[in-house]
Structure 1
Amino acid sequence: MTERRFDVWAAGDAYERYMGRWSRLVADEFVAWLPCPPGARWLDIGCGSGALTSTVAARCRPRTLLGLDGSAGFVTTARASTPEPARFAVADARALPVRDAVFDVAVSGLVLNFLPTPGVAVAEAVRAVRPGGLVAAYVWDYAEGMEFLRHFWAAATTVDPSAAAHDESRRFPLCDPTALRDLWDEAGLTRVTVAPIDIATLFPHFDDLWSPFRSGQGPAPGYVATLSPATRQRLRRTLRDRVPAGADGTIALRARAWAVRGHRRDR
Structure 2
Amino acid sequence: MTLDNFQLSFFSNPVGSAYRQLIDSLLPFVEFVAFSPEDVGTDDVGDGVLRRMGVSGGVATEDGLMLPPGVDSRRVARITAEAVVELTAAPALFEWREPERPENLHLLRSDGSAILSSVAIEYSGWLSFRDEGELSRWQAAASEAVMQLFSRDADYPGKVEPLDGFAADVRSDEAYAVYLRARVGMLDPALRPAVVRYLRTAEVVLRGDHTKDLLGETFNRDFGTAFLSDGTYCWWKDTADYVEHYGIGLSEEALAHMASNGWECPVLTDDECFDVGDFIVTRGLGR
TM-score in same-fold range (> 0.5): no
With the length of structure 1 as denominator, give the TM-score of the two structures.
0.30
Structure with bigger helix share is 1
Greater strand percent: which structure?
Answer: 1
Q: TM-score, normalised by structure 2?
A: 0.29
